[in-house]
Amino acid sequence: MELAEFFPIWNKLTPEQQNRLTQGARYQHVKKGTVVHNGSMDCAGLFLIGSGQLRAYILSEEGREVTIYRLFERDVCLLSASCIMRSIQFDITIEAEKDSALWVIPADVYRQLMDESAPIANFTNEIMASRFSDAMWLIEQIMWKSFDKRLAEFLIDEAALEKTKVLKITHEIIANHLGSAREVVTRMLRYFQGEGLVKLTRGTVEILDEKGLESIKDS
């Protein structure tokens, strides 16, 4: 993958601007589990995801987590460069969920391009609008969707993402994604197991009845 592929507005940049982006970018590999951006502690820059999978989450004072969105190949991560925008007043943590490879555009290089180029500024706008939409979706979920529906949806999405019905995932990790407590997840998974929807073993959740989960999700 080339850098230009991340920017639909690449051709609206001058050759000099394209060059500045290319020269500024560092390509790096990160191991699964690495925290690549940590709240307001750093301002690593813009991440362009070449391969792998990352998740962006927020953390409560008590250490509880909730996933706000995930990043896949071809995604651009703006909030890792949150210092470039004064009005971003929240802290987000970004962690590699799988071994990943990404380009990092330093915050100062990107900020300068935004200041001089309307196409780059508007591209940035669209990325932010898209993450904002993810956050609004999450609000609707947590306000109005019961936990059984959210868990059913999470299991279905996870199976699609991992291309397997046998999910290697702990109840703790599921709780961290959904912003819930481990006990609540365990209780609901056991209920699902009782209904014949899943089978639980240590460290795995096997989906036995995907249609059943779908009907809970859509009920």
User: Which residues form the interface with a second copy (CB under 8 A)?
Assistant: 58, 60-62, 64, 66, 68, 85-90, 114-118, 120-122, 124-133, 135-140, 142-144, 179
Contact 35, 93 (CB under 8 A): yes
Q: Which DSSP helix (H) or strand (E) runs through 22? A: helix 15-24
Q: What are 205's two structure tokens?
A: 């959740």
Q: How far is the CB of 88 from a second copy (least distance, A)?
A: 5
Least spacing, CB of residue 90 vs a second copy, in Å:
4
If the CB atoms of residues 131 and 197 are measured against a second copy, the closer one turns out to be: 131
Nearer to a second copy, 116 or 157 (CB): 116
Smaller CB distance to a second copy: residue 3 or 9? 9
Which DSSP string do the residues of 83-96 spell out, in sequence order? Answer: GG-TT-----EEEE
Q: Which of these, 21, 196, 219, lies nearest to 116 by C-alpha position?
A: 21
The rounded distance, in Å, linking the Cα atoms of 146 and 144 is 7
Q: Rounded CA gap, 79 and 63, in Å?
A: 20
Looking at residue 4, its amino acid is A
How far apart (Å, rounded) are the C-alpha atoms in residues 35 and 97? 9
**Whole-angstrom distance, CA of residue 69 vs CA of residue 92:** 11
How far is Cα 113 from Cα 120, in angstroms, rounded to an integer? 7
Helices (H), 77-181: 107-116, 118-144, 147-162, 171-178
Nearer to a second copy, 115 or 195 (CB): 115
Q: How far is the CB of 27 from a second copy (least distance, A)?
A: 26
Min dist CB 96 to a second copy, Å, is: 22
Smallest gap from Cβ 132 to a second copy, in A, equals 4
Residue number, 144 or 201, with CB nearest to a second copy: 144
Q: How far is the CB of 65 from a second copy (least distance, A)?
A: 10
CB nearer to a second copy: give 44 or 197.
44
